[in-house]
Amino acid sequence: MNFWNFIAQNRNQIDDLTLEHLWVVGVATLLAVAVGIPLGILITRKPRLQKPVIATANIIQTIPSLALFGFLLPAPWIGDRAGRLAILALMLYALLPLIRNTFTGIKGVDRGVIEAARGMGLTDRQLLFQVELPLAASVILAGVRVALVTSIGLATIAAAIGAGGLGELIFRGLAMVNNAVILAGAIPAALMALAADTLLGWLENRLAPQRAT
C-alpha cells in the first residue's frame, strides 16, 4: 500500500486524529500559558521563589516523556482518561519555556524605563500591564512558540498511552513495519509544527519593541 493510497482511503480517520492532536496540544498549551506566565511574573516579584520554581520546571523537563506519562497513570481522575493525562504531561513540559521567558523578558526591560515609571507614580499593576508586559511581549511569545512546537512533537508519544492523536498512526505504522502509515502520522504533525512556528514567529516580530537608539 503506498502513501497516497493510504491517505486517500483513510482520509476521515487522519482528519479525526489531526483534530484530536490539535485539541490535546491546544488545551495543554493554553493551560501552560495560564499557569506559566503568572508564575514567571510572580518570580520577578518574589526573588526568593525564583530558584525553586525554575529548578522544579527544569527537573520536569528532564523526565523522559514516556516515563512521565507512566508516572501520571496512577493519579486519580487524571489517570482515568488518557486524554487528560496527555494534556497534563504536555502542560508540565511547556511550563519551563513559559516561566523562563516571562521572567527573562520582564527582567530584560530597560532599568531606566522601569525606574522612570515607578518615579512617576505608576502602581505595581500599572507598571506590569502598561510597561513590563508590553515590552516583554515578544520574548514571552518566543516562549509560547517553543512550548507549542515542542508539544506538537511530544504529543505523538502520548499515543503510547492511548491518548490518540497523530502518534497513533506512527505507532501503528511501526508495528506494521509500514512506512506509508508512519508518514501519514508524521507528515501532518510536522506540518502542524511548522505552521505554528511560522505563525508565532510572525506575531513575535510584530510585537518586538521598536529598536531604541
Site string for another protein, 71-110 (x = CB under 8 A): ---------------------------------------x
- Residue 212 as a binder of another protein (CB under 8 A): the answer is yes
C-alpha neighbours within 13 Å on the C-beta side of residue 109: 24
User: Of the candidates 115, 194, 205, 206, which one interacts with another protein according to CB under 8 A?
Assistant: 115
Q: Which stretch binds another protein (CB under 8 A): 15-23, 77-85, 130-138, 192-200?
A: 130-138
Spatial separation of the C-alpha atoms in residues 99 and 30, rounded to whole Å? 14
Spatial separation of the C-alpha atoms in residues 19 and 25, rounded to whole Å? 10
Residue list 131-170, contact with another protein (CB under 8 A): 131, 134-135
- Residue 48 as a binder of another protein (CB under 8 A): the answer is no
Structure-block grid coordinates of residue 130 = 502598561
- Residue 47 as a binder of another protein (CB under 8 A): the answer is no
Q: Which stretch binds another protein (CB under 8 A): 46-54, 114-122, 149-157, 159-167?
A: 114-122
User: Of the candidates 62, 119, 175, 177, which one interacts with another protein according to CB under 8 A?
Assistant: 119
User: Of the candidates 5, 58, 123, 205, which one interacts with another protein according to CB under 8 A?
Assistant: 123
Angle between helices 11-45 and 179-207 (to 10 degrees): 40
Spatial separation of the C-alpha atoms in residues 98 and 38, rounded to whole Å? 9
Residue 149 CA: distances (Å) to CA of 28, 90, 144, 168, 178? 12, 11, 9, 19, 26
If the CB atoms of residues 133 and 190 are measured against another protein, the closer one turns out to be: 133
